[in-house]
Copies of this chain bind each other. A is one copy, B any other.
Amino acid sequence: MDNDDAKAAWPLLLTAHAVLVQDIERRLAAARLPALSWYEVLSALEDAGGRLRMHELADRVVLTRSNLTRLIDRLAALGHVTREKDADDRRGAYAVLNDSGAQLRARIAPVYLQAVAELFEDRTGPAERAAMARTLRTVLSGSRERD
Protein backbone atom coordinates (compact mmCIF):
# COMPACT_ATOMS: atom_id res chain seq x y z
CA MET A 1 0.00 0.00 0.00
CA ASP A 2 1.16 3.52 -0.79
CA ASN A 3 0.55 4.77 2.71
CA ASP A 4 2.71 2.08 4.23
CA ASP A 5 5.48 2.91 1.81
CA ALA A 6 5.30 6.54 2.86
CA LYS A 7 5.64 5.59 6.51
CA ALA A 8 8.66 3.42 5.73
CA ALA A 9 10.54 6.21 3.95
CA TRP A 10 12.41 7.62 6.94
CA PRO A 11 13.47 4.28 8.43
CA LEU A 12 14.59 3.19 4.97
CA LEU A 13 16.57 6.38 4.54
CA LEU A 14 18.38 5.67 7.81
CA THR A 15 19.03 2.03 6.96
CA ALA A 16 20.08 2.62 3.37
CA HIS A 17 22.47 5.34 4.46
CA ALA A 18 24.00 3.12 7.12
CA VAL A 19 24.37 0.10 4.84
CA LEU A 20 25.81 1.99 1.90
CA VAL A 21 28.19 4.14 3.92
CA GLN A 22 29.40 1.08 5.79
CA ASP A 23 30.10 -0.68 2.51
CA ILE A 24 31.79 2.35 0.98
CA GLU A 25 34.03 2.75 4.04
CA ARG A 26 34.91 -0.92 3.85
CA ARG A 27 36.01 -0.53 0.24
CA LEU A 28 38.04 2.58 0.97
CA ALA A 29 39.80 0.87 3.87
CA ALA A 30 40.46 -2.20 1.71
CA ALA A 31 42.14 0.07 -0.85
CA ARG A 32 44.20 1.64 1.98
CA LEU A 33 42.45 4.95 1.48
CA PRO A 34 41.18 7.34 4.14
CA ALA A 35 37.57 7.67 5.19
CA LEU A 36 34.71 9.33 3.36
CA SER A 37 34.86 12.41 5.59
CA TRP A 38 38.34 13.17 4.32
CA TYR A 39 37.14 12.92 0.75
CA GLU A 40 34.24 15.23 1.43
CA VAL A 41 36.43 17.89 2.99
CA LEU A 42 39.02 17.69 0.21
CA SER A 43 36.28 17.81 -2.42
CA ALA A 44 34.54 20.76 -0.80
CA LEU A 45 37.83 22.64 -0.83
CA GLU A 46 38.54 21.75 -4.43
CA ASP A 47 35.01 22.71 -5.52
CA ALA A 48 35.46 26.05 -3.79
CA GLY A 49 38.65 26.78 -5.70
CA GLY A 50 41.07 25.54 -3.06
CA ARG A 51 40.26 27.56 0.05
CA LEU A 52 37.38 28.11 2.45
CA ARG A 53 36.82 29.67 5.84
CA MET A 54 36.55 27.04 8.53
CA HIS A 55 32.94 27.73 9.41
CA GLU A 56 31.91 27.78 5.76
CA LEU A 57 33.63 24.45 5.19
CA ALA A 58 32.01 23.03 8.30
CA ASP A 59 28.58 24.01 6.97
CA ARG A 60 29.20 22.45 3.58
CA VAL A 61 30.30 19.10 4.88
CA VAL A 62 27.79 19.19 7.76
CA LEU A 63 30.27 18.90 10.60
CA THR A 64 30.42 20.85 13.84
CA ARG A 65 33.18 23.45 14.11
CA SER A 66 34.98 21.37 16.65
CA ASN A 67 34.89 18.23 14.54
CA LEU A 68 36.14 20.08 11.51
CA THR A 69 39.00 21.60 13.52
CA ARG A 70 40.08 18.10 14.44
CA LEU A 71 39.75 16.75 10.93
CA ILE A 72 41.78 19.65 9.54
CA ASP A 73 44.39 19.00 12.25
CA ARG A 74 44.86 15.49 10.87
CA LEU A 75 44.89 16.59 7.23
CA ALA A 76 47.35 19.37 8.04
CA ALA A 77 49.63 17.01 9.97
CA LEU A 78 50.01 14.99 6.77
CA GLY A 79 50.51 18.07 4.62
CA HIS A 80 47.26 17.77 2.69
CA VAL A 81 45.96 21.17 3.77
CA THR A 82 47.36 24.31 5.34
CA ARG A 83 45.78 26.83 7.68
CA GLU A 84 45.97 30.52 6.84
CA LYS A 85 44.76 33.43 8.91
CA ASP A 86 42.25 35.75 7.31
CA ALA A 87 44.02 39.08 6.81
CA ASP A 88 40.81 41.12 6.94
CA ASP A 89 39.07 39.45 9.87
CA ARG A 90 41.87 38.13 12.01
CA ARG A 91 39.54 35.97 14.09
CA GLY A 92 38.97 33.75 11.09
CA ALA A 93 41.08 31.10 9.41
CA TYR A 94 41.10 29.51 6.00
CA ALA A 95 41.67 25.88 5.22
CA VAL A 96 43.75 25.71 2.05
CA LEU A 97 44.06 22.64 -0.17
CA ASN A 98 47.64 21.62 -0.99
CA ASP A 99 48.84 19.67 -4.03
CA SER A 100 49.21 16.66 -1.82
CA GLY A 101 45.56 16.99 -0.77
CA ALA A 102 44.37 17.36 -4.33
CA GLN A 103 46.31 14.26 -5.30
CA LEU A 104 44.87 12.33 -2.40
CA ARG A 105 41.39 13.34 -3.45
CA ALA A 106 42.14 12.15 -6.97
CA ARG A 107 43.21 8.76 -5.63
CA ILE A 108 40.07 8.36 -3.53
CA ALA A 109 37.65 9.48 -6.23
CA PRO A 110 37.66 6.42 -8.52
CA VAL A 111 37.17 3.97 -5.66
CA TYR A 112 34.43 6.07 -4.15
CA LEU A 113 32.62 6.77 -7.41
CA GLN A 114 32.82 3.13 -8.40
CA ALA A 115 31.27 2.13 -5.09
CA VAL A 116 28.43 4.63 -5.47
CA ALA A 117 27.86 3.43 -9.00
CA GLU A 118 27.63 -0.21 -7.98
CA LEU A 119 25.70 0.19 -4.76
CA PHE A 120 23.33 2.98 -5.64
CA GLU A 121 23.22 3.94 -9.28
CA ASP A 122 23.23 0.52 -10.88
CA ARG A 123 20.23 -0.45 -8.78
CA THR A 124 18.02 2.52 -9.57
CA GLY A 125 16.69 4.26 -12.64
CA PRO A 126 17.68 7.84 -13.50
CA ALA A 127 14.09 9.00 -13.12
CA GLU A 128 13.84 7.43 -9.67
CA ARG A 129 17.06 9.11 -8.60
CA ALA A 130 15.94 12.43 -10.02
CA ALA A 131 12.66 12.21 -8.11
CA MET A 132 14.52 11.33 -4.92
CA ALA A 133 16.88 14.24 -5.44
CA ARG A 134 14.02 16.69 -5.79
CA THR A 135 12.29 15.36 -2.69
CA LEU A 136 15.47 15.58 -0.65
CA ARG A 137 16.08 19.12 -1.86
CA THR A 138 12.73 20.27 -0.53
CA VAL A 139 13.51 18.59 2.79
CA LEU A 140 16.83 20.39 2.98
CA SER A 141 15.51 23.75 1.92
CA GLY A 142 13.31 23.65 5.00
CA SER A 143 16.25 22.92 7.28
CA ARG A 144 18.59 25.48 5.83
CA GLU A 145 16.30 28.50 5.78
CA ARG A 146 16.42 28.97 9.51
CA ASP A 147 20.22 29.05 9.76
Residues of A near any B CB (own CB < 8 A)? 2-3, 5-10, 12-23, 40, 62, 116, 119-124, 126-140, 142-144
Contacts and interface: CB of A to CB of B under 8 A. Distances in A.
Main SS at interface, chain A: helix
Copies of this chain, complex-wide, total 2
A133 to B, nearest CB: 4
Contacts of A3: 126, 130
5 contacts: A6-B127, A6-B133, A10-B116, A16-B140, A128-B131
Contacts of A12: 132-133, 136-137, 140
A129 B14 CA distance: 13
Nearest to A63: B18
B13 A132 contact: yes
A19 B62 contact: yes
A2 B130 contact: yes
A13 B15 contact: no
A77 to B, nearest CB: 25
Given A62-B22, A135-B128, A121 B2 contact: no
